[in-house]
Chains A and B, each alone.
Chain A
Amino acid sequence: MAEIQSYTMNFGPQHPAAHGVLRLVLEIEGEVIQKADPHIGLLHRATEKLAESKPYNQSIGYMDRLDYVSMMCNEHAYVMAIEKLLGVQVPERAQYIRVMFDEITRILNHLMWLGAHGLDIGAMTVFLYCFREREDLMDCYEAVSGTRMHATYYRPGGVFRDLPETMPKYQESKFRSKKELDRMNANREGSMLDFIESFTDRFPGCVDEYETLLTDNRIWKQRTVNIAVVSPERAIQLGFSGPMLRGSGVEWDLRKKQPYEVYDKVDFDIPVGVNGDCYDRYLVRIEEMRQSNSIIRQCVEWLRNNPGPVIVDDHKITPPTRVEMKDDMESLIHHFKLFTEGYCIPEGEAYAAIEHPKGEFGVYMISDGANKPYRVKIRAAGFAHLSAMSEMVEGHMLADVVAVIGTQDIVFGEVDR
């Protein structure tokens, strides 16, 4: 009887290392992967078609749910596409707030990635450390928008409201002593900017802790060095972007090359890898967290000294204040029209792309002059990355599949849309 050489194995969709609902059909010979066929779409919600059926502003909340670990960045690309079509200039303070929250989001995303990636290939502690810092950033989201995840904070023309003067505090309870409570609330006494600043003071030390655990760790290196090497030529050919592209040594970052908002006014460096393996991509993302931290500090500094409006004063696209509405007929009409019908956008098309934590996140919007988009296409970085899965895992062992899923930083909200 002939010996069976290769066989097919199913991986996911209910697998803790599948980062959501990835289903992989693997062709294996012994323990070596011959071919991987990712089956996606288990989380497909037709966000783009839903967006076609509602006024522009009502879809901002859907954008949060695309890549649900970097919520505000998704909103950013969407509102930028609308602003491009409308020709709206966003107030500078709003631009700084957006940059600050984009970078907070980048740290949030990278912490989630680091924790999950570590957990996947056997480093439990990192996960707990990462979630400790994520908590503070989630609190920033909550303080500014009222929700910890799905913020809907960016609006066409600016941001929903200015940064709050106070941070929410932990409440007394029978599970916490007074001393404990004071310790927890110590950095929450001032404004939100004070809280963020105290975070940025502390955070580089936290990144050092992660690095102590991983960077020179023999097991970590054995699991990541020389795994899934992608040459720069292949990375470009396959449409990679973000850390996946920079890990292969291509110096490309939209924040530097096609600066949007105020990225040309803040100072930061772009880390670039050398070998294009999982370890280099890890180092790139770690350094990105440090750079984001420095950008946040610069934004905090600027925001402290420069008060001003955070949303444009054009009530055709932004709602008037409640106070104005009380005694101004015009404002009342604007408010009514804006929330019942929305605003019409002149006919045209625009593509707005941002440097999302995962890569280039773009929104291509076609308007035919109506109050709803004619077509919205979301270009998700993870989609292009996952399509290269087969190529990246070919010839590696079964256990390395998990390392590759981790290094690609896959989130199914954006891959499936």
Chain B
Amino acid sequence: MPHTNTQDTLVGLFVAAGIASLFFLALQVSNLSSFSRGNTYEITARFTNSGGLKVKSAVSAAGVKIGRVKSISFDSKTFESVVKMDIDAQYSTLPDDVTASVYTAGLLGEQYVCLDGGGSDDYLKNGSKIEITNSSLILEKALAQFFFKSAEEKKSSSDDKKGNGKK
């Protein structure tokens, strides 16, 4: 059989290029490198509304990603959204009185959980609950409020005008 060294080399190059591409995709393109899933601890927060938050959404503190949303479930007794999060074990000194808020990255971007504030000497640990939460801002509600407000303002200002006119 005509097996040559060149052939072997070419096959070797091909396989190496293929495997290198797989590594490239894994490490350079996806987020495999940015977040090690080995050591994490779990914390829970309850929101009256978690909005468009999804499993695997980011959890960040001061803009740095420190974990991911693990699960989102609905508590039918309290009508609250129960969000469990995995936080990277290296961030082990978060005060246990932080505020968890659901924010949106940009106007149309992904929603994420932001942890901020707090000054307690006790730290969050596995199974901790975050007491203070801010729910997601619902665009429709916000707009409705805005329009309602501006309508009221208009009304009151026009009332003023009318009053002025009478005078």
Partners in one complex: no
